[in-house]
Amino acid sequence: MGIARADVEKIAELARLELTSEETDLFTEQLSSIIGHVEKLNELDTTDVQPMSHCAPAGGDSEYAKRDDQVRSGLGQELAVENAPDPEAGYFRVPRVIGG
């Protein structure tokens, strides 16, 4: 099936990305390749495969997924907003989007 150039342009618009013509062509090719691989998965016979609700087997060894929580200090307010484009008084300043 693939993906059309117009689809990539629409996705870029929705994501507010400015793509060059070359980037649009590259992403069209790459996304079409990804979709081709996913479509290949549809060729597999999965009629006898039970659905899974978790990635670890229910009765198997799932110790690798378990660990104790470790309390660590956070970034702190100053460090968190250090690279923000428009911080104000230690907070992230963003454009008004509701009731503007």
Enter the tokens of residue 40: 């290949």
Return the higher-pLDDT residue of 61 and 97. Answer: 97
55-65 core/surface letters (b: 16 or more CB in 10 A; e: else): eeeeeeeeeee
pLDDT number for residue 97? 86
pLDDT of 3 reads: 92
Mean pLDDT of 10-24: 96
Mean pLDDT within 57-68: 63
Average pLDDT across the chain, whole number? 87
Q: Give percent of the chain above pLDDT 90.
A: 56
Task: Please check whether the domain covering 1-45 is classified as CATH 1.10.20.60.
Answer: yes
Higher pLDDT, 66 or 21: 21
Q: What is the pLDDT of residue 29?
A: 96
Q: What is the residue extent of each domain of the chain? A: 1-45
98 or 26, greater pLDDT: 26
| Structure confidence at residue 95 as a pLDDT band (50, 70, 90) | confident
